[in-house]
Amino acid sequence: MRRFLWILAALALIVPSTGCMINQYSSDPMVRMEQLMIDSENLRQIHDEWRRFWMNDQPSHLTPYRIHGGVGPASSSI
């Protein structure tokens, strides 16, 4: 029983330092770079989706500038 506990303790220390059991990315450097770029692009787009969900990407109506068009300031060409 004591030997089993020592083996279990050794495995608990060794296994986390070896990395994942199944690698997520390819071993080919070109394919791996493409996979990493796709992942980073997906993570970049999450931010925009989150802002759209909470409607933070809409212009503020508290600004002194007209954003949605309409009657703008008259330009004098006299």
- For residue 51, is it within any domain? yes
C-alpha to C-alpha distance for 39 and 41, rounded to whole angstroms: 5
* Domain limits for position 44: 26-57
What's the total number of domains in the chain?
1
C-alpha to C-alpha distance for 71 and 55, rounded to whole angstroms: 25
Q: Is the dihedral of CA 13, 14, 20, 22 positive or negative?
A: negative
pLDDT of amino acid 63: 61
What does pTM read for this prediction? 0.42
Asked if pLDDT for residue 77 goes beyond 60, the answer is no
- For residue 75, is it within any domain? no
- For residue 20, is it within any domain? no
Those residues whose C-beta lies under 8 Å from the C-beta of residue 59, and which sit 6 or more positions away, are 67, 68
Asked if pLDDT for residue 22 goes beyond 80, the answer is no
* pLDDT 10s digits, 37-65: 998 988 888 888 888 888 777 766 666 66
Average pLDDT of the residues of the chain: 77
Between 31 and 11, the more confident residue is 31
Q: Is the dihedral of CA 51, 54, 59, 60 positive or negative?
A: negative
- For residue 71, is it within any domain? no
- For residue 53, is it within any domain? yes
